[in-house]
Amino acid sequence: MPGMLIRFSWPVLVVVLGLLFMPTLSAQEQTKAIDALFEAWTTPTSPGAAIAIMREGEVVYRKGFGSANLEYDLPITPTTVFHAASLSKQFTAFAILQLAEAGQLSLTDDVHKYLPELQDYGEVITIRHLLTHTSGMRDQWRLLALAGWAREDVVRNREILDLAARQRGLNFSPGDRFMYSNLGYTLLAEIVSRVSGQSFASYTREHIFVPLEMEDSQFYDDYHQIVKHRAYSYGQKAGETVKRPLNLSTVGATSLFTTVDDLLKWAQNFTSLRIGSPSIMEEMKQGAKLNSGAVLDVLAGQFHGTYLGRDVYLHSGSDAGFRSYLLRFPAEGISVALLANTSTADVETLAFSAASHFLPSVKADAQSGTGAAKKGDYPHPENIFIELPISDLQAFVGKYWEHNNWYDREIRLTEEGLSYYRPGSGKATKLRPVGPNSFKMIDDTEDVTVTFKKNGHGLATMLVRVNDEPEIEHLAYDNFALSGYTGDYYSEELAVTYSVRVKQDQLVLYTLRTGEIALKSVARDYFTCSDRNYKKVQFRRDEQGNLTGFSVANGGITRLDFTLLREPIRP
């Protein structure tokens, strides 16, 4: 929905909604408004979603849209069982906090106390670090992908624990920063199992689902198991709806099977406390505290934000074609549970849009979470600018790659001079020279300086400084010989070997299971890729300049090393 930008204090959570003013609606108008949100999935020939809304303990809306199984035309209802993906983490966190309150573990315990098979990282990782994604543990899905596992493969806790035990490094020192880690929550589920003496599925059934009468909920730890009334997973390929199989038998980070009706029972428990205690609920609201002293809106199994000035607690989920969202406005007594079986469902926008129809009337302004007012064009005195010949400007034209966060920028030359272009946004900003290789952005809301120079490795770069922030380095795309990178590279942490080849003027990574992964060359030793698991590939050299290996980084791994094998592996 076009319109207002709603910002949560956790910066990843950004919801775009068009509800600047929401008048109080009648119950019938509310129903019609929410029905309209799901109009695209009202036919039995498409997958869809189920949604249920609670206000002050009363269910005020519940409905299903679309089909749970397209092969048999089975409709989605509020009692349809969905795979809830990462929404599972709320229940894993709660189980850990139950055991902590019972004195069976402490949140400050070193995880090695319960998982001695993990490597010694030389630093203490606590259970609280795992709960708040501040442990530095790499993400299990990214590790499995790099090891050659396909998303349709059967994945059990056993394989993930074996993979975790092989990891010799962390993304960062525990407590230094936040980085979402599914592996952390799989380890938490294993701790619950080892401390309680029960399987995680059995523990949560006995201590959470049965007491809350969540009769259609379970942690699905055996993909052979038959589940009645379940929805199946769908996505899009070339504009056609296709199956997106999911065979996970791993629990903790994922694999909660549940319904929207059951999720509202869970949401109500934050108020009614049928299970748990005020101290557990208070612990679930504690933000992650970093070593620097900063406190984040990353909580135990959930996130905190503000929407139109109102506190909201939430978590989402995404696996294969399944999407999930649970949000709670405690002060207003409003909860929304949304489960979908199609990857096209924007569950965040749908959930907040639905909630808005039940929130008391509110007029949005800058103080209620809608973002700061625009500053206006940053003033630049005209006398700071100089003139440069076109031939000098031409030297800076080209594409540049930001190698830490992996995005592209482009410098273009027009009759008016250089412009800074952001691919994907369609936005170009004019640059005016203030030196032979330095420029200021014009018509921008910040003071931005762009400087072109070579870095300490002799690579052409573009440095972007916003106000007084540190410069952001972008590498210039360059042409160079690829043949020197070929060979076989091995990772002990993944127990996998990649063959590096040149094919059709591209460097290609190859294993039998992954097939060919084509890399895009940027600068000497730097490569990127359209596959998110290989977003940054950097080759390493010794002091003599000889290749020794390469490292891979992506959204869940800051660095994982492969070593060049001097003796190639023969087929």
pLDDT digits 0-9 by tens, 250-274: 999 999 999 999 999 999 999 999 9
- Pick the residue with more confidence: 325 or 24? 325
H/E stretch holding 49: strand 49-55
Q: Which amino acid would we find at residue 457?
A: H
Report the length, in residues, of the chain.
571
CATH label of the domain that carries residue 271: 3.40.710.10
pLDDT (0 to 100) of residue 3: 27
Q: Is it the case that residue 2 has pLDDT exceeding 60?
A: no
Helix (H, G, I), strand (E, B) or coil at 406: coil
Indicate whether 188 belongs to any domain.
Answer: yes
Q: Is the dihedral of CA 286, 193, 211, 214 positive or negative?
A: positive
Indicate whether 308 belongs to any domain.
Answer: yes
pLDDT (0 to 100) of residue 363: 43
Q: Using only the alpha carbons of the chain, give its radius of gyration.
A: 26
pLDDT (0 to 100) of residue 361: 65
Please answer whether residues 442 and 380 qualify as being in contact, where contact means their C-beta atoms are separated by less than 8 angstroms: yes
For residues 226-237, give the mean pLDDT: 96
pLDDT (0 to 100) of residue 309: 85
H/E stretch holding 267: helix 260-272
What value does the mean pLDDT of the chain take?
Answer: 91
> For 252-404, where are the E strands, in sequence order?
256-258, 303-307, 310-319, 322-329, 334-340, 398-402
Q: Is it the case that residue 399 has pLDDT exceeding 90?
A: yes
Same domain, 458 and 515: no
Indicate whether 353 belongs to any domain.
Answer: no
pLDDT (0 to 100) of residue 425: 81
Q: Is it the case that residue 195 has pLDDT exceeding 90?
A: yes
Question: Token pair of 190, please?
Answer: 């294993």
Q: How far apart are CA 155 and CA 38, in angstroms?
A: 33
Locus of tokens 């020794």: 548
Q: Is it the case that residue 275 has pLDDT exceeding 60?
A: yes
Same domain, 278 and 163: yes
Same domain, 537 and 558: yes
Same domain, 218 and 243: yes
Please answer whether residues 301 and 315 qualify as being in contact, where contact means their C-beta atoms are separated by less than 8 angstroms: yes
Same domain, 459 and 520: no
Domain boundary among 452, 476, 500: 476
Q: Angle at CA 369, nearest 5°, toward 365 and 371?
A: 80
pLDDT grade, residue 404 (50/70/90)? confident
DSSP states of 218-235: EE---TT---TTB---EE
Indicate whether 39 belongs to any domain.
Answer: no
Q: Which residues contact 227 (CB under 8 A, 6 or more apart)?
A: 81, 218, 220, 257
Indicate whether 354 belongs to any domain.
Answer: no
Indicate whether 266 belongs to any domain.
Answer: yes
Indicate whether 367 belongs to any domain.
Answer: no
Same domain, 292 and 419: no
Same domain, 456 and 501: no
Q: Is it the case that residue 362 has pLDDT exceeding 70?
A: no
Q: How far apart are CA 236 and CA 343, in angstroms?
A: 7
Q: How far apart are CA 363 and CA 330, in angstroms?
A: 20
pLDDT (0 to 100) of residue 12: 33
Q: Is it the case that residue 525 has pLDDT exceeding 70?
A: yes
Indicate whether 43 belongs to any domain.
Answer: no
- Pick the residue with more confidence: 309 or 77? 77
Same domain, 138 and 185: yes
pLDDT digits 0-9 by tens, 341-356: 999 999 999 999 999 9
Burial (Cβ within 10 Å: 0-12, 13-18, ≥19) of residue 487: middle
Question: Token pair of 194, please?
Answer: 């080892």
pLDDT (0 to 100) of residue 372: 37
Domain boundary among 288, 322, 356: 322
Same domain, 467 and 502: no
pLDDT digits 0-9 by tens, 6-65: 333 333 333 333 443 444 568 888 999 999 999 999 888 999 999 999 999 999 999 999
Of 138-142, 160-164, 567-571, give the lowest mean pLDDT range: 567-571
H/E stretch holding 185: helix 182-196
DSSP states of 476-536: EP-----GGG-EEEEETTTTEEEEEEEETTEEEEEETTTEEEE-EEEETTEEE-SSGGGSE
> For 372-486, where are the E strands, in sequence order?
398-402, 407-414, 417-422, 427-433, 438-441, 448-454, 460-466, 472-476
Q: Which residue numbers are catalytic?
A: 86
For residues 434-463, give the mean pLDDT: 93
Assessment of whether the complete model's pTM goes beyond 0.95: no
Same domain, 526 and 441: no
Same domain, 177 and 257: yes
Name the nearest CA neighbour of 324 among 260, 402, 419, 374.
260
Domain boundary among 476, 500, 525: 476
Domain tally for the chain?
A: 3
Helix (H, G, I), strand (E, B) or coil at 415: coil
Same domain, 421 and 549: no
Q: How far apart are CA 549 and CA 563, in angstroms?
A: 4
pLDDT (0 to 100) of residue 148: 95
Range of the domain at 508: 483-564
For residues 418-442, give the mean pLDDT: 92
Of 134-148, 367-381, 483-497, 507-521, give the lowest mean pLDDT range: 367-381
Q: Angle at CA 199, nearest 5°, toward 68 and 247?
A: 35
CATH label of the domain that carries residue 540: 2.40.128.50
